Chain A
Amino acid sequence: MTNFLRKYRPFVSAGIEEAIVYRANFLLFALGNTLGAFVTYFLWKAVFQSSTNSSLNGFTFPEMVLYIFLSFFTGILTSSDGSSSVGDEVKDGSIAMRILKPISFTANYFYEEIGSKLIDVGVLAVPLFGGILIYQIVGKGTPVLNLVNLLLYFFSATVAYLINFYFNICFSFTAFFFRNLWGSNVLKNALVIFMSGSLVPLAFFPPVLQNVLKVLPFSSLLYTPVMLYLGKYSAEQTISVLLLQIFWLIFFIFLAKIIWHFAIKHLSIQGG
């Protein structure tokens, strides 16, 4: 185990250093995303103002505000870039250099991403999560801050990140067959945004669709941790959504192993 850590630790620091090199890029990305979150905020404000009910589908306006910013923060926390980087590397053939090292392909990506994620989340957590906490303490009619929910949230968000990582790795291996991932990536992202509840809470969908979406892995990526934070689940529901998350995590870890086994045989390194 210590040997394992020694072997992969350099990737974490390499990831951190690379993230720092491109810090301006990252700050612009964060700024763009924040603007997006505010647009969503004003949209929902208009929706609530035009409605005669003070709560929609079980969400009060302050809860909705928390949902918007928390799902935005969770989105960053659990995002995984694996599929586009594997796609790019397959396209230009540089993936060869990774395969030629005596290390696990998946672990290599994972630790590099952890490194840059530490920086991303570190930079954003203070203003964003701080803002959310202040809003909860100062704002009127906001859900009460709850330590258990907070811990559940962080646990569930970590699992969500791992699911997302392996899901993206599975997806990215299709690049070995298609050679280029750009198109399918756009489709995948649109579907994930819709089905994970990051665009609209799943509670707003028709009941039949809701039940389907809740079982699919996508709700585990974002909806589950955010709803846990908001305290929307009973004790039993909490256990069942967490078990579902863990199920999907194990599922994708195995799927990734199986796909890798076949994909590596199909790999053709492009370019001289």
Chain B
Amino acid sequence: MSMIEVSNLTKDFRKTIKSPGLVGAFKSLIKPKYETFEAVKNLSFEVPKGEILGFIGANGAGKSTTIKMLTGILTPTSGYCRINDKIPQEDRQNYVKDIGVVFGQRTQLWWDLPLRETYSVLKEIYNVPDKDFYKRMDFLNEVLDLNDFITSPVRTLSLGQRMRADIAASLLHNPKVLFLDEPTIGLDVSVKDKIRHAIEQINQEEQTTIILTTHDLGDIELLCNRVFMIDHGQEVFDGTIKQLKNRFGHIREIEFELVNAEDANRLNFSQFGSAIEYSQNEKNVRVKFDSSKVSVPDVIRLTLSQVDVQDISVKDADIEDIVRRIFRKEAAEHD
């Protein structure tokens, strides 16, 4: 049985259109114009119990809107989601007992109180028995290192500390489903590691079903069994991370910093044919190519033989890029 079932989920927003400038502002004050904006279109998917689903897409693709509907704080325009056998919008208080939510951009902690107090408030709200509470707190302390700052008021915590504290807060009542909306945004590598480790451990020990949105391929690679990608509110990919990489991840990018900007004229990649393209900005030359047809060392060797190079950086395709490419390709198919 699936833990999460989403069927034809759609959300339209009505937006006021504002013409630019002061005059425009007045115009829209007197006679507002509206347009309907489809943030999420006909999404359907299922998530079995215990799976970690990576939910990805560019900014504004509709990820957050979907998460908001799944957590019950937005009402869909049409379609439905059923999670843990409940419709979130119908029975809010009952539904939220079994879920945990972290929005990377917001906090559920009491801003002015010491962190510890937030946890005792949550303990009462969720009715967690003493024994379970202490056991959980010990576990969370261990994986997220909360002890250093548990007595500090939340407003004095750093972003990394706050995020760890927020994740702990969402797990205190041992939810069946955990929603993580960009939990690693703006964090340094060591904090990211801790958070990823904690998520992994919770998932393994408690069979928690997790939906994770992120822009960080690292999160996805380490945590997710499955990736669901959307763009402009529509599904563009649903499959394993391996399938995603095989299909779209072979485009690589290398950036060369030249000694002399004029040298760029001497560059000639014609031997690789259409598998490669490059662009130049002053001394920086960016080369993009299909790594299944052209190898990285070949590109570097050829470039070094043609021009003097100061610096080289090799990049992995990022998610934004993959999404863009998927979308472009689909658009091309429609032509």
Report A's interface with B, CB cutoff 8 A: 3, 6-7, 9-11, 14, 17-18, 21-22, 93-94, 96-97, 99-104, 264-269, 271-272
Contacts and interface: CB of A to CB of B under 8 A. Distances in A.
Contact of B93 (A10, A104, A266): A104
A267 B124 contact: no
Dominant secondary structure at the A interface: helix
Given A94-B106, A272-B64, A7 B127 contact: yes
Contacts of A97: 103, 106-108
B121 A103 contact: no
Interface string B85-114: 000010011101101010101111010110
Contact of A269 (B68, B107, B121): B68
B149 to A, nearest CB: 17
Nearest to A98: B108
Contact of B68 (A9, A22, A94, A96): A96
Given A7-B127, A14-B117, A96-B73, A102 B68 contact: no
Given A10-B124, A17-B112, A102 B94 contact: yes
A22 B124 CA distance: 25
Interface residues of B, number: 33
Contact of B74 (A9, A21, A104, A267): A267
Contacts of B72: 99-100
Contacts of B125: 7, 10, 101-103
B183 to A, nearest CB: 13
A108 to B, nearest CB: 9
A268 B93 contact: no
Given A10-B125, A271-B105, A265 B113 contact: no
Contacts of A267: 73-75
Contacts of A104: 93
Contacts of A264: 75, 92
Contacts of B113: 14, 17-18
A102 B93 contact: yes
A265 B92 CA distance: 12
A3 B278 CA distance: 67
B122 to A, nearest CB: 8
Interface in B34-92: 64, 68, 71-75, 89, 92
A15 B99 CA distance: 26
B165 to A, nearest CB: 14
Nearest to B121: A10
25 contacts: A7-B125, A7-B127, A9-B124, A10-B121, A10-B125, A14-B110, A14-B113, A14-B121, A18-B110, A96-B103, A97-B103, A97-B107, A99-B72, A100-B99, A100-B108, A101-B96, A103-B125, A104-B93, A265-B75, A265-B89, A267-B75, A268-B74, A269-B68, A271-B105, A272-B103
Nearest to B123: A10
Contacts of B110: 14, 18
Nearest to B114: A17
B272 interface: no
Interface in B178-226: 182
B107 to A, nearest CB: 7
A21 B108 CA distance: 19
A18 B109 CA distance: 13
Contacts of A269: 68, 73-74
A6 B124 contact: yes
Nearest to B153: A21
A102 B64 contact: no
B112 A102 contact: no
A7 B97 CA distance: 13
Contact of B126 (A3, A9, A18, A102): A102
Interface in B102-146: 103, 105-108, 110, 112-113, 117, 120-121, 124-127
Contacts of B121: 10-11, 14
A132 B60 CA distance: 60
A9 B125 CA distance: 10
A100 B101 contact: yes
A73 B125 CA distance: 34
Given A7-B127, A14-B121, A99-B92, A272 B101 contact: no
A102 B96 CA distance: 6
Contacts of B117: 10, 14, 17
B13 interface: yes
A266 B126 CA distance: 27
B178 to A, nearest CB: 12
B120 A10 contact: yes
B124 A7 contact: yes
Given A97-B103, A103-B125, 5 more contacts: A3-B127, A9-B124, A100-B96, A102-B97, A269-B73
Contacts of A6: 124
A179 B33 CA distance: 17
Contacts of A271: 105
A129 to B, nearest CB: 28
Contacts of A22: 112
Contact of B71 (A100, A102, A266): A100
Contacts of A99: 72-73, 92, 96
Nearest to A95: B73
A97 B68 CA distance: 11
B87 to A, nearest CB: 13
A7 B125 CA distance: 5
Contacts of A266: 75
A6 B64 CA distance: 34
